[in-house]
Structure 1
């Protein structure tokens, strides 16, 4: 494929193993040479996951000692599921993630392997638990999400993966901030930052974003602005020489601007939010329908809170179009809030 497409083998290897996101030109090249569209039906891929035996099931049936090749396969499947979450709704994806998590947990519990392989499998378990918790929360299943997050923390701790444990706590803090007591969410978000001593720059930026959001929800303006400044500082420290965990692949400047805009709305400054949100949404991939719908809902809210009700209604209509492709409890909740503002 490298010879056919004129991209290097090393670069294509990173893409095929889920360690680098492909640019559109690479996707087009693969489609041209393979003769079929890539990823054209991600929902079908999610359902195929449920009817085909995973490598872990095959391994457990054979009773062989778990080696590096199976750990590689498990890690690759985690990456694929994580990226499917960008384009597949929670109702279709959650069953596949639950199954993969259960099979990986069984492999950890019943398999025979050396300690380094065990740590990799435990890390994969923690990552799957985080993903399952996130998707369950998107489906409105908050109690299950909390259970999954806490279980993932135990796996991450057993693996000695401190940043992953912090990410799990931080994900739970985000849920609590949104649907529970924001003060409790803030405490947990700060705990995650405090405990992530070995966090890389992007991971630290992500953890600090959850602190900023919880601070905004508690209406602490100074703490919110300090946290947003810390997010920017951490993000600017990223470097090609620093290897980031794959699960933070999605955090970029646009995502940071969206969070800053949301915080400005919570702090009563919707005028400052609008340019941040509109600029970020303009750069977001349209196939990520759920996120586009969510971010458009915040843009609509910024218009509504500045009195531009016609603009708010027009943006909300756009958001509904995207949401129809990937139903989500989060988007439903957001739409109700913005609709209330427009009607009032």
Structure 2
């Protein structure tokens, strides 16, 4: 049985697995070879999970290859028996979000930003929790780039805080808002940054 690896439609966090991250790419490659005629969604999920493991290991070349493979799979023909029920959550928005997360891990801010913006554009309205996560991560890319764009970062951060305060709760998403606040600390003398950090304080200290 192929495990459900990756980000689900109902959570911001990657599903935890019992294997170490170094073993996941090998497991993913083995599973792809074992199930060559399965739904293309299965290898997409496997490639995305492998990409995350490579990103955690700071292997940029392997991460990019796994992500390229995942996106190439979306054009593959669907099998006559359809996709597995458990793969319902994977779509291009989720794939772009995962790619953006991988590039954040690699500190490749430009690529991370491109994928996260695409994920936000493609996501359905009901994905408020994922939207909060993507906004927080996207905001971080604007702060971390060579020429920070603080106004854009704060606008995205405000959206994430508003969603997590009034609509949904997620410890994982709050963690990324906390990371955003930490990233903004060198700019705390800027009034807009100071205001955002104050607004986020109650959320990130709960």
TM-score by shorter chain over 0.5: yes
Cα 1:186/1:296, change in 2 over 3 Å: farther
User: Which 5+ residue runs of structure 1 have no aligned equivalent?
Assistant: 1-161
> Residues of 1 paired with 2:160 and 2:40: CA distance?
32
CA contact (8 A) 1:216 1:263 kept: yes
- Which structure is higher in RCO with an 8 Å CA cutoff and minimum separation 6? 2
Deviation at 1:171, TM superposition (A): 5.5
> Residues of 1 paired with 2:155 and 2:42: CA distance?
35
Deviation at 1:192, TM superposition (A): 4.3
> Residues of 2 paired with 1:238 and 1:263: CA distance?
26
SS of the residue 1:184 aligns to: coil
1:222 paired with 2:58, answer no
Cα offsets for 1:174-212 (capped at 9, x unmatched):
4558xx9xx922313531442352242101101110110
> Residues of 2 paired with 1:228 and 1:206: CA distance?
10
1:312 paired with 2:148, answer no
State the match for 1:303 in structure 2: 142
1:336 paired with 2:178, answer yes
> What is the RMSD of the two structures over their aligned residues, measured on CA atoms?
2.5
CA contact (8 A) 1:176 1:184 kept: no
Cα offsets for 1:52-76 (capped at 9, x unmatched):
xxxxxxxxxxxxxxxxxxxxxxxxx
> Residues of 2 paired with 1:230 and 1:192: CA distance?
12
State the match for 1:287 in structure 2: 126
Larger gyration radius, structure 1 or structure 2: 1
SS of the residue 1:327 aligns to: coil
User: Which 5+ residue runs of structure 2 have no aligned equivalent?
Assistant: 8-13, 187-206
State the match for 1:187 in structure 2: 23
> Residues of 2 paired with 1:209 and 1:275: CA distance?
17
State the match for 1:146 in structure 2: none
TM-score, structure 1 as length reference: 0.46
SS of the residue 1:287 aligns to: coil
SS of the residue 2:20 aligns to: helix
SS of the residue 1:286 aligns to: coil
SS of the residue 2:24 aligns to: helix
State the match for 2:11 in structure 1: none
